[in-house]
A = this chain, B = another copy of it.
Amino acid sequence: MDIAVINPNSSAAMTARIAQSISRYKAPATHLRVLRVETAPISIQGHFDEAACLPGLLDAVTQQERLGVDGIVVACFDDPGVGACREIATGPVIGICEAAVVFAKTVAANFSIVTTLPRSVPIVEELVVKYGAERQCRQVRAADIPVISLEEDPDRARKAVRSEIEKAIAQDRCEAIILGCAGMSDLAEELTRTCGRPVIDGCVAGLKMIEGIVGAGIVTSKAGAFDYPIGRELVGSGAGRGCVPA
């Protein structure tokens, strides 16, 4: 099957890291494309950045849809534009926050989330409510690092994330941790080993969820909110302008 994982920001480095982290988890039969949106901000830090990435993201989804993609993962923890992507796509679409929450709820009675900047905390809290996990989510925490530091100063960033996870375990008594940024994808394995409980990366979770839904033969319902956009001509060129592989 054909799966596209689209990082809706423009960072080549982050996209490469996501591609590296998740490619070894893909099913043998999965043809995986990891893409980034060249016209988008370098990182998604707030509502404005979410909005700013949308034109490129939707153009990329339109392009992938025309290429016959079977399923799509939106690889930003704010899950920007997932509803609009579902309108365009025939196959299933998932954001990495939703996927991570689903996996965490299956293997733990509760969890905390560690994201980058404090300004993203309310955005993630709202997603947690939307996904019906407010009772399982002990707390959404910020390591207080900019997204870009995950590239530019990875050691310091890793330490800040680990330190916040340790606080989450001690103070929130949480049974699992969700990494609240696609840029942390490469940290999950090591942190799982050192933290004594699942540390979940939404990029891998999203990939495996979409492989599962596609594998089950289930497509996006076109009987309501996710029906194809009415003004098809608005859907854009689908040339995937600014949409670049990892």
Chain A residues near B (Cβ < 8 Å): 25, 27-29, 41-42, 45-52, 54-55, 58, 81, 83-84, 86-88, 92-94, 98, 102-103, 105-110, 118-123, 125-126, 129-136, 146, 169, 173, 175-176, 189, 192, 196-198, 200, 204-205, 207-209, 211-213, 215-227, 229-231, 234-235
User: Which residues of chain B come closer than 8 Å to A93, judged between CB atoms?
Assistant: 106
A212→B227 CA distance, assembly (Å) = 27
A84→B192 CA distance, assembly (Å) = 23
Taking the full assembly, how many copies of this chain does it contain?
Answer: 6
Q: Looking at the complex, which one of B41, B200, B235 makes contact with A218 (CB distance below 8 Å)?
A: B200
A176 close to B221 (CB less than 8 A): yes
User: Which residues of chain B come closer than 8 Å to A133, judged between CB atoms?
Assistant: 132
User: Which residues of chain B come closer than 8 Å to A54, judged between CB atoms?
Assistant: 51, 54-55
B208 close to A213 (CB less than 8 A): yes
A106 close to B92 (CB less than 8 A): yes
User: Which residues of chain B come closer than 8 Å to A120, judged between CB atoms?
Assistant: 225
A47 close to B87 (CB less than 8 A): yes
A84 close to B47 (CB less than 8 A): yes
User: Which residues of chain B come closer than 8 Å to A106, judged between CB atoms?
Assistant: 92-94, 98, 209, 213
Q: Which of A126, A129, A131, A224 has the most B CB atoms < 10 Å from its CB?
A: A224
Q: Which of A103, A110, A175, A209 has the most B CB atoms < 10 Å from its CB?
A: A175
Indicate whether A48 sits within 8 Å of B88 (C-beta atoms), given known contacts A118-B224, A224-B173: yes
Q: Which of A131, A176, A225 has the most B CB atoms < 10 Å from its CB?
A: A225
A83 nearest in chain B by CB position? B47
B125 close to A84 (CB less than 8 A): no
User: Which residues of chain B come closer than 8 Å to A55, judged between CB atoms?
Assistant: 51, 54-55
